[in-house]
């Protein structure tokens, strides 16, 4: 009887440990996938925000493209600047669609003399 109870308790402890291990593995897998998915997009938005600090885009909305080197290689992103009134601008980045060729992102929005 003692062996049967010990085996049952051991299986119970094993199932609890397995549950926590699989939950941690799922969480880590999702986190890694999110990081890989967002890696280029976040860099493209950062470059767009740095560009916005040099001046205002010539039109609203303004669309341009940028190539970002990610862990999976170079990827193209389309960055869209949208005016939200006054000096408020929205910057959005999405992976460039196949066959879509936006103009390259300029170095600056400043008007050169």
Residue 106 lies in a domain: no
Residue 60 lies in a domain: yes
Task: Inform me whether the pLDDT recorded for 20 exceeds 90.
Answer: no
Domains held by the chain: number: 1
Domain boundaries, position 79: 2-95
The predicted structure's pLDDT at residue 87: 82
**How sure is the predictor about 21, in pLDDT bands with cuts at 50, 70 and 90?**
confident
The predicted structure's pLDDT at residue 31: 93
Residue 104 lies in a domain: no
Residue 61 lies in a domain: yes
Residue 100 lies in a domain: no
Cα 52 to chain centroid distance, Å, stands at 20
**DSSP codes, 8-39:** HHHHHHHHHHHHHHHHHHHHHHHHHHHHHHHH
Residue 105 lies in a domain: no
Residue 80 lies in a domain: yes
Residue 107 lies in a domain: no
């Amino acid at each position: 009887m003692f062996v049967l109870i010990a085996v049952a308790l051991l299986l119970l402890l094993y199932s609890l440990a397995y549950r926590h291990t699989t939950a941690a593995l799922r969480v880590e897998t999702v986190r890694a996938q999110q990081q890989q998915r967002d890696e280029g997009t976040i860099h493209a938005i950062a470059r767009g925000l740095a560009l916005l600090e040099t001046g205002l885009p010539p039109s609203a909305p303004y669309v341009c493209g940028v190539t970002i080197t990610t862990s999976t290689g170079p990827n193209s992103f389309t960055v869209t600047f949208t005016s939200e009134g006054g000096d408020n601008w929205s910057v959005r980045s999405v992976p460039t669609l196949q066959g879509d060729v936006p103009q390259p992102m300029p170095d600056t929005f400043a008007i050169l003399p």
